[in-house]
Structure 1
Amino acid sequence: MPPRTRKADVAQAPSTMKELKDTLWKAADKLRGSLSAAQYKDVILGLVFLKYVSDAYDERREVLRTELGGDDADPVQLEMDLDDPDEYQGYGVFLVPDNAHWDYLSKYAKGRNEPGESPKSIGLLIDEAMDAIMGANESLLGTLPRIYNRDNIDQRRLGELVDLFNSAKFSRHGDQKARDLMGEVYEYFLGNFARAEGKRGGEFFTPPSLVRTIVEVLEPDTGRIYDPCCGSGGMFVQSEKFVEYRHGDAQDLAVYGQEAIEETWRLAKMNLAIHGMDNKGLGTRWGDTFARDQHPGVAMDYVMTNPPFNIKDWTRNIEDPRWVFGVPPANNANYAWIQHVLYKLAPNGSAGVVMANGSMSSNSNGEGDIRARIVESDLVSCMVAMPTQLFRSTGIPVCVWFFAKDKKAGSGGAVDRSGEVLFIDARELGYMVDRAERALSDGPDGDIARIADTYHAWRGTKSAAEKRLTYEDVPGFCKSATVDEIKAAGYALTPGRYVGTANSAEDLEPVDQKIARLTKELHSTMDSSDVLGLRVREILAALTHD
């Protein structure tokens, strides 16, 4: 068993973000080749979580020991107080039983057994540690991976992996809490694993540019927030960051979500737990949203989601009450996702949904009729065409649909936008992270702020008032169009149809002067060409003579 106090460990300097990333990515390299990207993702993230909870528990225990008087306190009472669960859980720290502590696991990482002790499989010990932590912390029940004692995992490499993790210390880093540091590392890993997995990576990781754009436009601050295919929970985490950035209380947000893939559902549960968010709203297990809505009758204030695009094989019931605007086609679930989102919205709710660009104009299999009914019901508030290559895993160009159940003045904005839709063409925004991936710039003058500020100015929100923003159409970028204009365009919602082209710089040069200038430039070019031609002939003649 690990000793109750580990002063040497606590005194260890906390790792910087760069050190953590370098160390932990090297750890991933130890498994690369022996396991697929999907498999080693789960192995690594589970170990990262285990190391984090152990370090956080140690740190809280040492702080508590000092608060209780340390060596001057009654040893029996001190031990009882140090084992009080409320002293940990009340401070956002998970309980770590002795057999789940990192010191205990590390001892067996390379077969360092006690004299006369039977060899212990490090994989089995880690699985038992996961069970122990889930048993001690209700919010983690059914969440942590138990995959370490399988035949396809090299136990020698796993031991080396655990040994390498010893150099990572999740503790305070300046004024940054261990939880914030862990959250950043977790997101770093999710992003890297999404790149490594290629296409499948999009199932659990939405590009940060898209997540932040949706959050900045919707500005979720209080109420129920929902994602019907939540992946690893990025929308929820970014919403929490938004609230804290605005000096609000993240506890005012109630998280609800659903995820069909077991491994991804576990990632989301862990991700929320790491960020100190209640993950009970993700249910007790994974499940198909179309087959069974796990949150029936719960009206959502905000829906933010990046559903899988163009699903051809989905659970379809033509009598489902969610199909208010028409039954979605059997060979494409795009309008099933859209209608599910609208069905879940509260009377004053709003939503942001990432979709393939084809959803904005498709007329096949009744999709155009469904879109027309949604537009005529005045539920679309804004359409944003995004730049290409935001997803490393797919080349499909995407857009974001924003919905609002009520666009009247006072229902989230000072301007009555009933019967209008804001179109934003953001295809020219962004910068290349590398040759394969584009991102939108952050900051008060960045691309994300430009999109969000345009929407808030159009709607007349509190943010627009604070920033003194006023809306006007900008040719080539944004346009407020009426439902009648959209109807005249066959209910197509492609921003490029409405925003037009950017105004070019006005040419003030008189026509006669421009003709004279261009003629002079042309003559000069021709003269230079004649001189160059003569010189080339001279060189060729000299070569021939030689």
Structure 2
Amino acid sequence: MNNTEQQFLKALDDKLWKSADKLRANLDAANYKHVVLGLIFLKYVSDAFEERQEQLIELFNTDSDDNIYYLPREDFESDEEYQQAIADELEVLDYYRETNVFWVPKAARWKTLKEKAVLPVGTVLWLDEAENGVKLRSVSWLIDNALDEIEKSNAKLKGILNRISQYQLDNDKLLGLINTFSDTSFSRPVHNGEKLNLHSKDILGHVYEYFLGQFALAEGKQGGQYYTPKSIVTLIVEMLEPYSGRVYDPAMGSGGFFVSSDKFIEEHAKDQHYDAAEQKKHISVYGQESNPTTWKLAAMNMAIRGIDFNFGKKNADTFLDDQHPDLRADFVMANPPFNVKDWWSEKLAEDVRWKYGTPPKGNANFGWIQHMLHHLAPTGSMGILLANGSMSSNTNNEGEIRKRLVEEDLVECMVALPGQLFTNTQIPACIWFLTKDKSNSVVRNEKKRDRRSEFLFIDARNLGYMRDRVLRDFTSEDIAKVADTFHAWQRGEGYEDIAGFCKSVELYEIKKHDFVLTPGRYVGAAAQEDDGEPFSEKMARLTLQLSEQFAESERLEGEIKRNLGELGYELG
């Protein structure tokens, strides 16, 4: 994006968030996201619908040999009849579905919401020509009615739009949000008089992602259940490069990995000079989520971006009610909850997924790894975020499972992450990258070399910057540094070990360390720059400096004791 587009999005973020954040006084952080995201969704689908209407009006009026939409003015007896014909054509549902635009019934269009929301409660409304009059009960009822109408008209959205009447918000609060959002257009962006080359889907996608991040911050620990920091998601996607095939996330939250995969395909298409929309036809996404409201968030996240998805028939526990039992995915990516203790059921005791050993009942980490491996295609690759303990723990069979994974040559790369990356936990984390095809026996992986019995360790703990006092983040350069190192190692092109950062090792080295996979054990310490001072001289100088500091410490301690004595205090 250019600077003007970035400025526009920043101003839009600030404006919408400032308005939405006023609800915090009336609602828990966990609830008000549903109200705000529901309204943003309604505004977007209405804007996209109007944008398509404008395109159709232009097509109806354009005479050309290849324009099948053209309506000749001379075919109508009067201008009034001609305008009525255009109005009727604009209500033909197929014109919208053919371009993947959601059909928005009149009762759900933003213009209707804005007009009716200001009327007194009890006013009789005609929301659609085919309906009898109904009484306006509240603004939240009006919004819920709009959501109902959209779900009825769009099968993909059935059951995924969260109703807001349950939150019992004042009419004035909702009217304030409607007025603020009314001043924003997702389809015709202009900033400082300059028309921007941003599409409605891109703007809404950005706003949705920004709001999810802000809500996660506001909710603290609970927010992490549905939101993985964007930079971590991007890092995993950039390393795995999922531009074709089946992509699966068994702990999908709000679907961040799928969104990043979509963006990756667009960038990849741009670099390769081919059609991104055509390339996206070669990707299919599968996900699962146990939390019902988060499951809806993810489905809505896909819907607004036009991403086809299969999230199973319902929200469900991944271990106990696998919604994709026959799936074998080309790419699996996940950030499951760390160190889950209460995940076990006796139904899982002899599960086919525990090919490398039964995971401990008190920790789900190696349950997640083996579930993902079970769903991985013979040539697939996966990346999973886990707590650091997974790299070294030997309790309750974890060490044995890790040993089997290494000996079976499934582990490809381990990345140690810096602390303070997550809104919901301070537990240090790492990324496991595993694959079932290190031999490079498949044509689509022809850029990769035979990596059997080789393992890459990357220590990224010193990368990143502090976004604020509590949260660390990666820059795009940090992400590129890690991803490029991984790809160079995979392809055998320009890779070299860097002390303190990365090291390629063979199986015997991991055996020497009892199958502990902590990168710090392998990469060593970063080389120190030679400052030109001989060691003996530096040692003498530092010893003298330390002696002087001890003497100064004793002097200050004596002064403090003397001053306290003068005040009548005595130290033991």
- Provide the TM-score with structure 1 as the length reference: 0.87
The offset of 1:59, in angstroms, is 1.4
Superposition pairs of residues 185-204 of structure 1, within 5 angstroms: 185-204=207-226
Q: Quick one: which of 157, 168, 177 aligns to 2:173?
A: 157
The offset of 1:327, in angstroms, is 1.0
Question: Whole-Å Cα distance in 1 between the matches of residues 143 and 231 of structure 2?
Answer: 36
Q: Quick one: which of 15, 38, 55 aligns to 1:23?
A: 15
Question: Whole-Å Cα distance in 1 between the matches of residues 300 and 538 of structure 2?
Answer: 67
The answer on whether the counterparts of 2:313 and 2:323 sit within 8 Å (CA) in structure 1 is no
Q: Quick one: which of 221, 242, 252 aligns to 1:220?
A: 242
Question: Whole-Å Cα distance in 2 between the matches of residues 110 and 18 of structure 1?
Answer: 30
Q: Quick one: which of 65, 90, 114 aligns to 2:57?
A: 65
Q: Quick one: which of 352, 371, 374 aligns to 1:321?
A: 352
Question: Whole-Å Cα distance in 2 between the matches of residues 115 and 66 of structure 1?
Answer: 37
2:437 is matched with which residue? 406
Cα separation, partners in 2 of 1:84 and 1:324, compared to 1, 3 Å = same
1:496 is matched with which residue? 520
The answer on whether the counterparts of 1:307 and 1:337 sit within 8 Å (CA) in structure 2 is yes
Tell me the alpha carbon deviations over residues 12-67 of structure 1, each in whole angstroms, 9 at most, x when there is no partner: xxx93234223321231231121101100111101100111011111111221121
Q: Quick one: which of 155, 173, 194 aligns to 1:138?
A: 155
The answer on whether the counterparts of 1:383 and 1:401 sit within 8 Å (CA) in structure 2 is yes
1:347 is matched with which residue? 378
The offset of 1:360, in angstroms, is 0.5
Tell me the alpha carbon deviations over residues 135-174 of structure 1, each in whole angstroms, 9 at most, x when there is no partner: 111111111112x222633333223322332112111331
Question: Whole-Å Cα distance in 2 between the matches of residues 307 and 151 of structure 1?
Answer: 29
The offset of 1:421, in angstroms, is 1.0
1:383 is matched with which residue? 414
Which residue type is aligned with residue 169 of structure 2? Answer: I
What SS is found at the alignment partner of 1:46? Answer: helix
1:95 is matched with which residue? 103
Q: Quick one: which of 62, 77, 86 aligns to 1:78?
A: 86
1:278 counterpart = 2:311: no
What SS is found at the alignment partner of 1:189? Answer: helix
The answer on whether the counterparts of 1:139 and 1:278 sit within 8 Å (CA) in structure 2 is no
* Deviating more after overlay: 171-180 vs 349-358: 171-180
Percent of residue pairs bearing the same amino acid type: 50
What SS is found at the alignment partner of 2:221? Answer: helix
1:110 counterpart = 2:141: no
Cα separation, partners in 2 of 1:301 and 1:165, compared to 1, 3 Å = same
Cα separation, partners in 2 of 1:452 and 1:53, compared to 1, 3 Å = same
Which residue type is aligned with residue 160 of structure 1? Answer: G
What SS is found at the alignment partner of 1:145? Answer: coil
Cα separation, partners in 2 of 1:510 and 1:65, compared to 1, 3 Å = closer
Q: Quick one: which of 247, 253, 267 aligns to 1:231?
A: 253
1:544 is matched with which residue? none
The offset of 1:409, in angstroms, is 3.6
What SS is found at the alignment partner of 1:479? Answer: strand
1:32 is matched with which residue? 24
Tell me the alpha carbon deviations over residues 292-344 of structure 1, each in whole angstroms, 9 at most, x when there is no partner: 11111111000010001111111431111111111111111111000001111
RMSD: 2.7
The offset of 1:394, in angstroms, is 1.0
Tell me the alpha carbon deviations over residues 273-296 of structure 1, each in whole angstroms, 9 at most, x when there is no partner: 1111012x1123211111111111
Question: Whole-Å Cα distance in 2 between the matches of residues 517 and 284 of structure 1?
Answer: 71
Question: Whole-Å Cα distance in 2 between the matches of residues 78 and 30 of structure 1?
Answer: 42
The answer on whether the counterparts of 2:255 and 2:301 sit within 8 Å (CA) in structure 1 is yes
* Deviating more after overlay: 361-370 vs 315-324: 315-324
1:454 is matched with which residue? 485
1:170 counterpart = 2:200: no
Question: Whole-Å Cα distance in 1 between the matches of residues 536 and 236 of structure 2?
Answer: 52
Which residue type is aligned with residue 253 of structure 2? Answer: G
Which residue type is aligned with residue 501 of structure 1? Answer: A
The answer on whether the counterparts of 2:440 and 2:448 sit within 8 Å (CA) in structure 1 is yes
Cα separation, partners in 2 of 1:354 and 1:345, compared to 1, 3 Å = same
Question: Whole-Å Cα distance in 2 between the matches of residues 303 and 116 of structure 1?
Answer: 52
1:427 counterpart = 2:427: no
Which residue type is aligned with residue 158 of structure 1? Answer: L
Question: Whole-Å Cα distance in 2 between the matches of residues 185 and 32 of structure 1?
Answer: 18
Cα separation, partners in 2 of 1:167 and 1:189, compared to 1, 3 Å = same
The answer on whether the counterparts of 2:48 and 2:101 sit within 8 Å (CA) in structure 1 is yes
Structure 2: runs of 5 or more not aligned: 1-6, 63-70, 74-81, 126-134, 190-195, 270-275, 553-572
1:476 is matched with which residue? 500
Question: Whole-Å Cα distance in 2 between the matches of residues 115 and 403 of structure 1?
Answer: 61
What SS is found at the alignment partner of 1:32? Answer: helix
Question: Whole-Å Cα distance in 2 between the matches of residues 518 and 27 of structure 1?
Answer: 58
1:250 is matched with which residue? 280
* Deviating more after overlay: 152-161 vs 166-175: 152-161
Which residue type is aligned with residue 456 of structure 2? Answer: L
The offset of 1:251, in angstroms, is 2.2
Q: Quick one: which of 111, 122, 126 aligns to 2:139?
A: 122
Question: Whole-Å Cα distance in 2 between the matches of residues 120 and 305 of structure 1?
Answer: 43
Cα separation, partners in 2 of 1:43 and 1:315, compared to 1, 3 Å = farther
- Provide the TM-score with structure 2 as the length reference: 0.83
Question: Whole-Å Cα distance in 1 between the matches of residues 373 and 124 of structure 2?
Answer: 65
* Deviating more after overlay: 30-39 vs 504-513: 504-513
Cα separation, partners in 2 of 1:516 and 1:125, compared to 1, 3 Å = closer
The answer on whether the counterparts of 1:30 and 1:161 sit within 8 Å (CA) in structure 2 is no
The answer on whether the counterparts of 2:117 and 2:142 sit within 8 Å (CA) in structure 1 is no
Question: Whole-Å Cα distance in 1 between the matches of residues 19 and 402 of structure 2?
Answer: 48
Structure 1: runs of 5 or more not aligned: 1-14, 462-468, 530-546
Question: Whole-Å Cα distance in 1 between the matches of residues 426 and 209 of structure 2?
Answer: 22
2:559 is matched with which residue? none
Cα separation, partners in 2 of 1:113 and 1:61, compared to 1, 3 Å = farther
2:423 is matched with which residue? 392
What SS is found at the alignment partner of 1:470? Answer: coil
The answer on whether the counterparts of 1:111 and 1:120 sit within 8 Å (CA) in structure 2 is no
